[in-house]
A = this chain, B = another copy of it.
Amino acid sequence: MPFEFHTKRRIEFVDVDLAGFVHFSRFFIFMETAEHEFLRSLGTSVHTQIDGHEIGWPRLAASCEYLSPAGFEEVLDIQIVVMRKGRTSMTYDFVFRRESTLIAKGRISSICCTIDPLRGLKPMPIPDFLARKLQARPERLKKR
């Protein structure tokens, strides 16, 4: 069971703002896409159904620290680490690097929910098929 994953992403023109650097909001999109790639690498998807109910992962919290700017056409390495696997929620940490330069560090916490068009979101335990595929990073490895 993996607790981390790496992917790469090239900065697109639309990611870049007037000042010539990646807009701070785009890092949250990059984190989300990395999360989804991680789930695909495990043979599943963030967008699933269980017992006829659509499952979603609304965010509880999201944060990012920006350490160095990144520019158009640069390629970022994105590391994702499972920091916590709860009964209904997950926390992922992200580290963005351009070669050896630290660009940004982020964190996203999400809660597993059924999405009902009428009754809205209702928290549920993480489905077994997904919970079995993920583990949190062991404590002894949590320094970085």
Contacts and interface: CB of A to CB of B under 8 A. Distances in A.
Contacts of A47: 13, 18, 72-73
**Copy count, this protein chain:** 4
A21 interface: yes
Contacts of A108: 24
B14 A24 contact: no
Contacts of A101: none
Interface string A95-127: 000000000000010000001010011000000
A62 to B, nearest CB: 6
Nearest to A14: B29
A56 B19 contact: yes
A36 B24 contact: no
Contacts of A24: 28, 32, 58-59, 62, 108
B65 A61 contact: yes
Interface of A: 12-14, 16-21, 23-25, 28-29, 32-33, 36, 40, 45-47, 54, 56, 58-66, 69, 72-73, 108, 115, 117, 120-121
